[in-house]
Amino acid sequence: MRILFVEALYKSTEPMSIMLLSSLAKQKGHKTFLHVLTSGGLELVLREIRPDIVAYSAMTGDHRYFIEANKTVKEYGKNIFTIMGGRHPTFFPEILKSSNLDAICVGEGDDAWPELLDVLERGGKIEDVENIVTADNLDSYALRPRRADLDDLPILDYDLCYKNTPLGNSLKRTIMTSRGCPYSCAYCFNHIYNKMYRGKGPVVARQSVSRVIGETKHMIANWRTKFIKFYDDDFVLKLDDWLYEFSKRWPKEIGLPFHCLLRADVASREPEILALLKKAGVQSVSMSVESGNDYIRNQLFNRKMSKDELRKAFKSAGDLGICTFSNTILGVPISETEEKKFCLAGSLERDIESVDFNLEIRATMTEYPILFPYPRTAIGEYCKKNGFFAGDYNTFTASYQNKSPMGCFSDREKMVQQNLALLGTVLQSFAGSRNLLARKLASLLRFLAVKVLIKLPLGKIYLLFYVMALNYLHRAKLYNYDKFNFWNWFKAIPGSYRFNLEKQFEKTIR
Ligand code: SF4
């Protein structure tokens, strides 16, 4: 069969689920293709490829593109089987009722997908395939257990992505070595996922070090690579044999610098973790702060992480010469009752507190997404219960670095949040610098930004400064695999500006 995978927009990270599904389909002798909707010409692509199946992998936000695209697909050929997987249909299976999709895949798809292809090719009942849901079994579908073994999955179809998107030209490539996270942060999907799968397989599954090294070697042999970004939710959950083995073998057998994500509380409790990562060749780590306000971070977001743990982890990383990235969420509404009861500052003051905390811990780089209350997450339910968000996910943009979808903020408040998010990253590029003068300048700029600039409707100008800071920090610090070249940095600005303009100022379809 001919399978067309459809992506909504070009992204800065490889669509790894699609790449895995493509490999699984190829193992069964099917032909696979990739189309990115924002490049246009879907009808032409359909005519050229003549797909039997069109498959989408959707986050809440980019699902809107797929619902529209699916109308075009069905107009072109009503017998084309269309299916959506990913987080959006997993947590919002009701999408089947408001779209003309034939099916959705709920939860992990890597065992359901090959089985579904067999049924579609040879006949059988789609609803008998566990994890596959149609309008007929929406209220009674079965879920197979989570995978424990990731080593027997095929190597991702890198060609599908690198031959069809600009990511092929990048020298930084993304790999995932594990699945799952045992924590319960309120804004993240993992706690609902773990609840959905309770009693059905391990919460966390991990590839062996040999498999990680084998896949990386395969990629390097086929695609020029200078830097690896490990995209696991938690690359290190604890000090264990896996990490000891990885830190010994990676520098000898691969020897490329890398970036990974871990929790600051884990890094601060076990200082040896950062030391082992350094030994392995880590260039930078992501350790999310999520909020500089204790109430938001621990009561609302359930991060269970103190400011002292954050300070210690960022200091340890800095002392080891590891660059740091701290993700921090702005635009978090709190009910008036709670604000009064716990004597909390207003929303903007809390956002400024977060920016100030990042300046204090001197993270190398910070980005400030806006809170998006994703379906069924604890924070999503909190926002709905308190009337902050009405529950229409079609108002979501594809990126959470965009205007808040909350009904409780005025347009002006949303503009101020977005301005602070953009300028916060610029400020951090000064505060995280090793240059004393740059750090002194950060205090002055912080004053100017907070008192004046965030209130002005100049977001698209601030975006330019954001893009300049982002590109500098990526090239010179976080993903520093070549000597920083001013001219290359300068040339990258226009493209990066257009990319971020589309991402951060995208209008919702409705
Ligand atoms: S630690 Fe990260 S991946 Fe895990 S639940 Fe929290 S936000 Fe999600």
Verify that 93 and 195 share a domain, yes or no: no
Is residue 233 in contact with ligand 1, taking CB distance under 6 Å?
yes
- For the CA of 187, the closest atom of ligand 1 is 7
Q: Of the candidates 211, 206, 251, 273, which has an alpha carbon nearest to the alpha carbon of residue 233?
A: 206
- For the CA of 261, the closest atom of ligand 1 is 2
**Domain enclosing residue 40, as ranges:** 2-133
The Cα 118–Cα 454 span in angstroms is 56
Is residue 233 in some structural domain?
yes
Verify that 175 and 294 share a domain, yes or no: yes
Q: Best mutation site among 178, 184, 185 for ligand 1, i.e. most ligand atoms within 8 A of its Cβ?
A: 185
Look-up of token digits 């300028």:
423
What the block records as the tokens of 109 is 């798809």
The Cα 124–Cα 332 span in angstroms is 48
**Ligand 1 mean position to 442 CA, how many Å?**
30
Say how far residue 389 (Cα) sits from the centre of its chain: 22
DSSP state of 146: P
User: What CATH number does residue 31 fall under?
Assistant: 3.40.50.280
Q: Best mutation site among 188, 309, 372 for ligand 1, i.e. most ligand atoms within 8 A of its Cβ?
A: 188
Verify that 304 and 188 share a domain, yes or no: yes
Is residue 104 in some structural domain?
yes
User: What CATH number does residue 451 fall under?
Assistant: 3.20.20
Query: From edge to edge, which strands make up the β-sheet containing 282-286?
Result: 172-175, 227-230, 258-261, 282-286, 323-327, 365-367
- For the CA of 183, the closest atom of ligand 1 is 5
The Cα 117–Cα 126 span in angstroms is 10
**Which pLDDT value is given to residue 509?**
43
Verify that 122 and 183 share a domain, yes or no: no
Q: Give the tens place of pLDDT for each residue, 431-449.
A: 877 788 888 888 899 999 9
Q: Give the tens place of pLDDT for each residue, 482-500.
A: 888 999 999 999 999 998 9
Report which protein residue has its CA nearest ligand 1's atom 3.
233
Is residue 190 in contact with ligand 1, taking CB distance under 6 Å?
yes
Verify that 109 and 187 share a domain, yes or no: no
Verify that 364 and 256 share a domain, yes or no: yes
Verify that 439 and 491 share a domain, yes or no: yes
The dihedral formed by the CA atoms of 195, 399, 334 and 355, expressed in degrees to the nearest 10: 120
The Cα 74–Cα 101 span in angstroms is 9
DSSP state of 290: B
Q: Digits of tens for pLDDT over the chain (510 positions)?
A: 999 999 988 778 899 999 999 999 999 999 999 999 988 899 999 999 999 999 999 999 889 999 999 999 999 999 999 999 999 999 999 999 989 999 999 999 999 999 999 999 999 999 999 999 999 999 999 999 999 999 999 999 999 999 999 999 999 999 999 999 999 999 999 999 999 999 999 999 999 999 999 999 999 999 999 999 999 999 999 999 999 999 999 999 999 999 999 999 999 999 999 999 999 999 999 999 999 999 999 999 999 999 999 999 999 999 999 999 999 999 999 998 888 888 888 899 999 999 999 999 999 999 999 999 998 999 999 999 999 999 888 888 878 888 899 999 999 999 999 999 999 999 999 887 778 888 888 889 999 999 999 999 999 999 999 999 999 999 999 998 888 899 999 999 999 999 899 888 876 543
**Which pLDDT value is given to residue 507?**
67
- For the CA of 188, the closest atom of ligand 1 is 8
Is residue 19 in contact with ligand 1, taking CB distance under 6 Å?
no
Q: Give the tens place of pLDDT for each residue, 112-148.
A: 999 999 999 999 999 999 999 999 999 999 999 999 9
Verify that 317 and 255 share a domain, yes or no: yes
Other Cβ atoms closer than 10 A to 436:
8
**Which pLDDT value is given to residue 280?**
97
The residues facing 498 across adjacent strands are: none
Is residue 379 in contact with ligand 1, taking CB distance under 6 Å?
no
Is residue 263 in contact with ligand 1, taking CB distance under 6 Å?
yes
E strand or H helix at 199, and its extent? none
Q: Which residues, 6+ apart, have CB-to-CB distance to 378 below 8 Å?
A: 184, 186, 187, 191, 302
**Ligand 1 mean position to 302 CA, how many Å?**
10
Verify that 401 and 456 share a domain, yes or no: yes
**Ligand 1 mean position to 233 CA, how many Å?**
6
The Cα 82–Cα 5 span in angstroms is 10
The predicted complex's ipTM stands at 0.99
Is residue 160 in some structural domain?
no
Q: Give the total number of structural domains in the chain.
A: 2
Report which protein residue has its CA nearest ligand 1's atom 1.
183
Q: How far is CA 61 from CA 89, 102, 391, 396, 402, in A?
A: 11, 20, 13, 5, 11
Is residue 297 in contact with ligand 1, taking CB distance under 6 Å?
no
Helices (H), 177-306: 190-196, 209-222, 241-253, 264-269, 271-280, 294
Verify that 120 and 56 share a domain, yes or no: yes
